[in-house]
Structure formats: structure tokens, C-alpha cells
Amino acid sequence: MNIKIFIVGDKIEKFYLEGIKEYEKRLSRYCKIKLHHFKNEESLSKKLSDKHYKVFISTKGKIISSEELADKINHLGVTGKSDVSLIIGADSLPHDEVLSISSMEMDLGLKTTIIFEQIYRAYRILNNEPYHK
């Protein structure tokens, strides 16, 4: 699976980026995942591919559990939708689905780190591996 995380917004604090890099490293055994940071939606819209399944992360989206996210990732993979874009911080771009990690507002860096963590957790669930060592 190829997962691209697109974020739109201001600078992300260094400690969040360090956490994200750790999850990128952990996820490398399960999928290809890459973070792309944009200052505005116009720049991002030029990079979005019509071939990707686009999921918008918003406080107004459907809240799903870690297990449901694992099922969603598995379903996308088996149905041939192995190129997935998760979009954080942009609200007017075309998308296929809207999900939420919380109905509470939070910092862009925190939200992005949580998304990486939940993707990692989903792959651990899919592979019947314990999350905590």
C-alpha cells in the first residue's frame, strides 16, 4: 500500500516531526508512507492524483475505531485501491471519504502524529501482532 499524508498549515513543531519519523520507520515494513507539507490548499491541489483514494481528516467526519481503520486499510488493499491520500487541514478539496480522529480541535502536528500512530496500530492489528512490546 502507498499512503501519502498531505497536510496544509503552518510549521509543525520539531518534537512532532521526530515522532512522525519514528512511525515512518516502523511503518516501512508494512507500507510506503510519506508526509507532504503544504502552506496552502492551492499548492496541494496540484499534487493530488485522481488515481488516489482521498480521505479527508476532519472534526466533522465519521469517528472510527482502530479495528475499523485496520478493516478499512485491508478493504482498500484487496479492492485494488492501494494508493491512498490522507488530507489534513484542507476542507474544500475533492475527497472520497471524511473521517475523524476526534470531535475536538487540535494542533496540526498532534493530529498528524496521531494519524501516523493509528495507521501503525492498524497494521499491527492486521498482522495479529501486539501493539505494545
% of the chain residues with pLDDT over 70: 99
**pTM of the complete model beyond 0.85:** yes
| pLDDT tens figures, 71-93 | 999 999 999 999 999 999 987 88
Q: Which residue has the cell 476526534?
A: 102
Nearest CA to 65 out of 23, 29, 99 is that of: 99
Give me the sign of the Cα torsion angle 58, 61, 65, 66.
Answer: negative
Instruction: Quote the pLDDT of residue 57.
Output: 94
% of the chain residues with pLDDT over 90: 80
Which of helix, strand or coil describes residue 115?
A: helix
Nearest CA to 114 out of 76, 78, 63, 72 is that of: 63
Going from the C-alpha of 132 to that of each of 6, 55, 125, the distances in angstroms are 28, 27, 11
| pLDDT tens figures, 38-72 | 999 988 988 888 899 999 999 989 999 999 999 99
Which of helix, strand or coil describes residue 111?
A: helix
- The continuous run of DSSP H or E covering 5 comes out as strand 2-8
